[in-house]
Every structure is written in C-alpha cells, then in structure tokens.
Amino acid sequence: MEMRLLGKTGLSVSAMSMGGAAIGQQYGPVSVADVAATIHAGIDAGINLIDTSAFYGEGKSEEILGEVLAGGWRDKVMIGTKAGRITHDRFDFSAAGMRSSLEASLRRLRTDHVEVLLAHDIEYADDYERIFTETAEVLHKLKAEGKCRFVGMSAYPLGILARAIERCQLDVVISYCHFSLQNTRLMTELMPVAERHGVGVLNASPLSMGLLTEQGPPEWHPANGEIRHACQTAAAKCRSRGWDIAALGMQFCFAESRIPSTITGTAKRSELEANLRTLAEPANWDGIFTATDALALVRDQTWTSGHWVG
C-alpha cells in the first residue's frame, strides 16, 4: 500500500482509507462480524486510517469500530472522527457540544484519543463566524489536552473549507464529491489554499455518493437530472467496452498523488477486496478518458449543501 504524507502533520497515511458511514448502517444493515472481517483485512492490507463520525448511525459506527478494534487492532490504525453534526437536521458546533461529542466518541471507540478530530459539515452552521472562532478554539484546546493529535473541518462547499483553512490553523480537511471523474474542482479551488497552509486534504466519496456506479445513486441524492443522466450514460458507455465505471473512478482518484488519501466506504469485505484490486492494477487510462469524455457536458457541476454562499 502506497503511503503519502498528510499535510504538515508528519503522518504517513495509506492512499486508500476506510470510511465509517456504512458501518453505521447508513446504507443498510451490516453485522459486527462482517465489519470485523472487513476492517481487519483492510489493516492487514496496509490501510492505516479509518474515518468515522458521531453522526454515522448516531454513534453506531463508532461503537462497532470500538468493538472490532479491540484486542490490539486499535494500535495498528489511526482513527479520525467528527463532531458537531448530531442528526440529519440537528447540529451543535458550540464549544460545549464539540467537547461532549468527542468524550462520547472516545467512550464508544474505547480509546483515550483519536488521531484526527473534525467539525462535521460546517456549511450547516447558523453562524459561520462562530465556527471560525469558538469551534476552532475548542478544537485546538482538545488537541492541547491530548484528546486528539490533529484537528480539522469537513464540508461540501469548497469555499467554506478554503475560508476555514485561512482562518483556523487547521491540520486536515475532508472534502467530498469534488474529486471524481465528473468533478475535479478540488484541485483548482481548494488544493492550492491547502498546500499553501500545509493542510492535508482527504478526498471522500470518490464515486460521488453512488453517481459513478452501475446501480446509480440513491433516491435522496442531491444531484440534478442532467448530472444523473450523464453519469448513467457514461456508465453504459464504459460497460459496452467491458469496463466498470466505479473501478475507473477509483483508479482516477488513486492516481492523483497530491491527494494524501481517498476515503472509501467499506463495510463488506467483498467491497474492500474489489477496491484493493483496483488500487493494485495499473490505471486504465483509456477507460478513464472514455468516462470523462462522456461526462463533458456536466463537468464540474455541483449542487447546494447547507447555507454557505460563496
């Protein structure tokens, strides 16, 4: 497994990392045994970073991870978790809320610290100035107390992440759905700011929450009809040539060396093994170019998330 530096943290992270949303049952039921098999196989394959959140399953993801990382597995992996988002429509980015959330996360994870703590989906905050002051301040206090080694924020709009980097002395940010076959705005709108400040960027949702898959996105997906149709057309064009658009999308993300790690949702061992095979194979650039050409009409189109404008 290729290792890459995570910004100025000094951490070497695996090019592929594992995400915890599916572990929290957000995409259907999964057993603890299945999660254990997946996580242990991923660690054995060289993956050394797991990203989760108090929001995923309202703590279920962290609880299961705490169970499957017992018996020495915790010492072999770095954990990143998030606070501030409680449910789909409840948020608490206050100092007290962030601190309480982390303490609960540590209990569920059965650890005394996490490697990375992030404020989760900050574009949903009611007061952005409070994010850049109170929320950032408590993150740094928790870091000073040893409850986390590094701090950061996550969001969908790139503009708010760029502002957070410029104002909050962050170590890490997570961006999602902005580096994929359909959208590469991460590299032009956020990466220059992050690199200037030495901030590590983790790329989540490399398949744009299901857009770039054979089965297509779930009904709740926020993309408009034009984007959905273009992705389905691209998938069909790849299929006609014997290629899987999801595998091409993963290879495209792994090939970008400026991105330290791409987070993949892996609650089942079969999915993990498919991703590992994709990572190990040479990138199919003919297939990648076929897919990106088919997506040209919706290149870099996005959707609304939260309240951020700018």
Sorted by where each begins, the domain ranges of the chain are 3-298
Minimal CA–CA distance to 246: which of 259, 264, 228, 229? 264
- Residue % of the chain over a pLDDT of 70: 99
For residue 56, what pLDDT is reported? 93
Q: What is the pLDDT of residues 193-206, one digit of tens each?
A: 999 999 999 999 99
Q: What residues are annotated to the active site?
A: 56
pLDDT at res. 184: 98
Q: Which of 98, 114, 109 is nearest to 60 (CA)?
A: 109
Is it the case that residue 224 has pLDDT exceeding 90? yes
Which tops the pLDDT comparison, 89 or 260? 260
Is pLDDT above 90 for 170? yes
pLDDT given for residue 168 in this prediction: 98
- Please determine, for residue 188, whether its predicted confidence score (pLDDT) is greater than 80: yes
- Mean pLDDT for the stretch of residues 7-16: 96
What is the structure's pLDDT at 22? Answer: 84
Query: In 10 A of CB 187, how many CB atoms?
Result: 15
Rounded to whole angstroms, the Cα distance separating 287 from 292 reads 9
Quick one: what percent of the chain has pLDDT higher than 90?
Answer: 90
Whole-number pLDDT of residue 266: 78
What is the pairing mode between strands 12-14 and 114-119? Answer: unpaired
Please write the tens of the pLDDT for every residue from 239-278.
Answer: 999 999 999 999 999 999 999 999 998 788 888 999 999 9
pLDDT band at 124 (very low <50, low <70, confident <90, very high): very high
CA-to-CA separations, 250 to 45, 105, 279, in angstroms, rounded: 17, 30, 8
Closest CA to 102 of 94, 113, 91: 113
CATH topology of domain 3-298: TIM Barrel (3.20.20)
What is the predicted pLDDT for the residue at 24? Answer: 81
pLDDT digits (tens, 9 = 90+) for 273-310: 999 999 999 999 999 999 999 999 999 999 999 989 86
Whether pLDDT at 25 is above 80? no
State residue 276's pLDDT score.
93
Please determine, for residue 73, whether its predicted confidence score (pLDDT) is greater than 80: yes
- The pLDDT value recorded for residue 29 is 79
What are the C-alpha distances in Å from 307 to residues 19, 60, 125, 126, 160?
25, 28, 8, 8, 10
213 has pLDDT over 90: yes
